[in-house]
Amino acid sequence: MRLIDVEVFLERERQIKEGNVDRGTKPVLKELDDATTDYSILSHRWVGNEVNYKEMTKLAKMENRDEIRERSGYQKIVKSCERAKEDGLKWLWVDTCCIDKRNSTELSEAINSMFRWYQNSKKCYAYLHDVAAAGFPTSCDTGEYPGSSGWPEWFSRGWTLQELIAPTDLQFFNKVWQPIGDKRNLSTTLEKITRVPSGILEEGLDSDRPSVAQIMSWAADRKTTRDEDRAYSLMGLVGINMPMLYGEGEKAFLRFQHEIMRKSNDQTIFAWNPTSETPEASGVLADKPSHFRDCHDIIRIKPEEFHSMLRAMSFDGVSFYDLNPWREFWPSWKFTLADVEESHISTVADVGIRVRLPFIPYPGYPLVSKVVLACKKRDSSTPITIDVVCWRSIFYRFTGAVGWHPLSDSYQYSKVTLAYEHTGAPSGFVIDKPDGVAATLREVCAIEPRVADGGNPQHFSVTRAETHHVVDERLRILALLTYYLCLCAVISTIFLLGITLGGHCSWFACGEAVLLLSCLFWTSLEVSAITPVVYPRTENTLPPRNYILKFRDEIVVLTGDQRAITSITRAETIFPLQTLRTMRVVAVILQAIPFAALMKVPTDGNLVSFSLLFAQFLTMVVIQIIWIIERQKLLRYHALILALGRPKLTKYTFGSREPAVVLALLLSGTEKADEVMNELSLTQDSKAWKKWKTIVLAHIKNGGRFNVESSDWDDGTWTGTEKENLNRLFQDARKAYQVFEEHFKESVSQNVR
């Protein structure tokens, strides 16, 4: 680091005052090692008339040296040198003149080293230029300090936060350089002003290592001249280094958080509070430090504590873990300490942050889940949670309104990718990978006869599914009953096999009994699998939107009663799909057990025995045939009718994707038409497509008829091919509006009313 030689500087100042300018004086600045040199350091608020590096080194040779010496910035250096001399220190560092800011490499190195330089200093002088009193201010005074929340301006600046925390010995001076206190003696007052705990002010960061969210909260209301400095001024406090890129603006804070995640697994960085300006779907990292304003008491949780908290965690007074009667056998609830420890390990990639986290879906919102973070409020016994929304396997922070509480029996522990920023965030209307009952709707729509044909063999369909039915709660009771029947069948089979192997039962009798039990198991399993469930309080969750189901060659727009839409988008079968596959394998094994009885057939040729065995074998074959031949489609179709009645389906088939997307936007009536169009369309970067999109969105917003003439868009810069493409696209949009007007407009208007 480059330091001011206190003796040389003061001697030069004395000579200039006496008029004896020695142009050959010793250098005022010298390069030294901060780890082995005893030096003092100045902390101050820049006021615009500071002394820079060139002026400091060339002062004796400059014609305007008297003007420079009269600056308040120069007088700060003089007073600091005099104070350092009194304290027996030969060297002083001042940021305004000890860094050659013309050299970007030197500036970057200085900013990355600044926390360490303040930390290694023997004395730090904090100059409060706006404090006239002989004592340190102890109460907020907006009259005296109107521009800095009632406290001296030094406490409102971004860079002075690390200058407050890093030095071991920090002394405060008023505007006339009278000492008014030191950091240790004023720690209680300083905590009130800055929200930095007094223990950290007295003993340093290592005494009680704060979380990232806590450090960010201290900087939430601080200001810097450059947006980038809001991030750069915090680097030393979290122990990271990164290159300076002045000109990147607020992106510096995002890059700063990237670097934190590369070095730390501190999940408090996700616990920021959204504001009214935050998009409904955004990245999981905050845009600015002010989002952490109320995070001063958020602390990290160790894996062991997090593990116990997850088991005891509750909503509405009921433990998630206790809600599942078969939690010890249910794979999604078998989380271990190893799982929790893995959640404390994250990987930073180009697409986002990969981390393993516990998820709880919301009722009525198929894309939104609640995520449990490994952090908590200091006095709380439960972890902090945030909402996320998934789009194309990437999870974004969700700040919109959601249901009353998450689903208790859909708990998952999985590795996910969290998006850095809101670029590419979903609209929240389009379901990209429908499952459960929503997935069955696609098969129903596939066999629905279309209203009209776009005249192209490559069909792309849009179906409006209107439903006003809600699942009967009695179906839930039926599903639970069959669930327990499945369990009884498995337990009984294991018991029978045990007593048969023990010689207490014949293989023939065992085979007959197992056949009956396997039939019971199979029937109960299939009934459970096809019975959708409306979870408790779902009817209180009324999503203020119409969802769009996106498939490869089909778009389904859900409209109608919001409770019915909730039932389609969020209703689940009593068995999760992955568990259902496992259980069907078990059913096959159970049905194969009767073959063991064939190996034990009596040799006396008893006709009754042979008849029973043949009936047993025939029954098993019939069950397998029923299972294989179109079983899933028939049962799913039956489930949809049983659960929701027959939805009113209106379908139109186009020859390309673009008119289908336009019709879907018109049917949904969404205010986020821009985002929804991006999600439904294939990726398009051509100039013609972008122009078409802009004009089409304007017509959708204004309710136009898409009567677009070439004069509306042709400015003479388009090629012949581009004009041809644009004309085709506008014809497609016009066709979509005609279909909407002819077949859908009246019913959509009635639905809106």
Q: Which residues pair with 92 in a beta bridge?
A: 4, 40
Sign of the dihedral defined by the CA atoms of residues 440, 446, 451, 453, in that order: positive
Per-residue pLDDT, averaged over 290-301, amounts to 94
pLDDT at residue 639, rounded to an integer: 54
pLDDT band, residue 746 (cuts 50/70/90): low
Angle 694-699-705 from CA coordinates, rounded to 5°: 140
Contact 237, 165 (CB under 8 A): yes
Per-residue pLDDT, averaged over 391-415, amounts to 70
Per-residue pLDDT, averaged over 316-331, amounts to 41
> DSSP of 380-430, one letter per residue?
-SS--EEEEEEETTEEEEE-S---SS--TT--EEEEEEE-SSSTT---SSE
Q: Is 556 helix (H, G, I), strand (E, B) or coil?
A: strand
pLDDT at residue 7, rounded to an integer: 94
pLDDT at residue 592, rounded to an integer: 66
User: In this model, does residue 410 exceed pLDDT 60?
Assistant: no
Could you tell me whether strands 40-44 and 91-93 are parallel, antiparallel, or unpaired per DSSP bridges?
parallel
In terms of pLDDT, which residue wins out, 365 or 109?
109
In terms of pLDDT, which residue wins out, 313 or 150?
150
pLDDT at residue 585, rounded to an integer: 66
Tokens encoding 149: 């929340």
Angle 192-196-197 from CA coordinates, rounded to 5°: 90
Q: Within 10 A of 541 (CB to CB), how many other CB atoms are there?
A: 20
Per-residue pLDDT, averaged over 98-124, amounts to 95
User: In this model, does residue 486 exceed pLDDT 50?
Assistant: yes
Percent of the chain whose predicted confidence (pLDDT) is above 90: 33
Contact 401, 278 (CB under 8 A): no
Tens-place pLDDT, residues 125-137: 999 999 999 999 9
User: In this model, does residue 292 exceed pLDDT 50?
Assistant: yes
Q: What is the dihedral of CA 12, 15, 17, 21, to 10 degrees?
A: -90
Per-residue pLDDT, averaged over 192-204, amounts to 93
Query: Of the ranges 40-44, 84-88, 111-115, 366-370, which one carries the lowest mean pLDDT score?
Result: 366-370
Could you tell me whether strands 353-362 and 365-372 are parallel, antiparallel, or unpaired per DSSP bridges?
antiparallel
pLDDT band, residue 227 (cuts 50/70/90): very high
Q: Is 463 helix (H, G, I), strand (E, B) or coil?
A: strand
Helix H or strand E segment including 252: helix 251-263
Tens-place pLDDT, residues 614-665: 666 666 666 566 555 544 554 555 555 555 556 788 888 888 888 889 888 8
Q: Tell me which residue of 513, 537, 479 sits closest to 596, measured CA to CA.
A: 513
Distance in angstroms (rounded) separating the CA atoms of residues 23 and 217: 50
Q: What is the dihedral of CA 496, 497, 500, 505, to 10 degrees?
A: 20
In 128-192, beta strands by DSSP E: 170-173, 179-182
Distance in angstroms (rounded) separating the CA atoms of residues 360 and 480: 21
pLDDT band, residue 327 (cuts 50/70/90): very low
Sign of the dihedral defined by the CA atoms of residues 48, 226, 114, 266, in that order: positive
Contact 558, 543 (CB under 8 A): no
> DSSP of 77-100, one letter per residue?
HHHHHHHHHHTT--EEE-HHHHS-
Query: Of the ranges 48-52, 307-311, 390-394, which one carries the lowest mean pLDDT score?
Result: 307-311
pLDDT band, residue 208 (cuts 50/70/90): confident
pLDDT at residue 627, rounded to an integer: 56
Tokens encoding 572: 């689940």
Amino acid identity of residue 321, one-letter, is: Y
pLDDT band, residue 452 (cuts 50/70/90): low
Looking up tokens 């616990």 gives 271
User: 276 — phi, psi (to 5°)?
Assistant: -65, -20
Contact 375, 383 (CB under 8 A): yes
* Top mean-pLDDT range of 57-66, 87-96, 339-348: 87-96
Tens-place pLDDT, residues 140-169: 999 999 988 899 999 999 999 999 999 999
Q: Is 234 helix (H, G, I), strand (E, B) or coil?
A: coil
Tokens encoding 24: 């050959």
Alpha helices in 420-506 (DSSP H): 436-446, 473-501
Q: Tell me which residue of 568, 583, 422, 590 sits closest to 515, measured CA to CA.
A: 590
Q: Which residues pair with 2 in a beta bridge?
A: 31
Contact 169, 124 (CB under 8 A): yes
What order of strands is seen across the sheet that includes strand 648-654?
Answer: 430-431, 548-550, 554-560, 460-467, 648-654
* Top mean-pLDDT range of 258-262, 340-344, 560-564: 258-262
User: In this model, does residue 580 exceed pLDDT 80?
Assistant: no
As a whole number of Å, the CA-based R_g of the chain is: 36
Looking up tokens 């600045």 gives 29
User: In this model, does residue 430 exceed pLDDT 90?
Assistant: no
pLDDT at residue 514, rounded to an integer: 72
Angle 475-476-480 from CA coordinates, rounded to 5°: 115
pLDDT band, residue 534 (cuts 50/70/90): very low
Could you tell me whether strands 314-315 and 318-319 are parallel, antiparallel, or unpaired per DSSP bridges?
antiparallel
Per-residue pLDDT, averaged over 272-288, amounts to 88
Q: Which residues pair with 654 in a beta bridge?
A: 460
Model-level pTM greater than 0.85? Answer: no
Distance in angstroms (rounded) separating the CA atoms of residues 90 and 7: 7
Distance in angstroms (rounded) separating the CA atoms of residues 29 and 9: 9
* HSE of 699, CA atoms in CB hemisphere, 13 A: 22
Helix H or strand E segment including 377: strand 375-377
pLDDT at residue 243, rounded to an integer: 92
In terms of pLDDT, which residue wins out, 574 or 702?
702
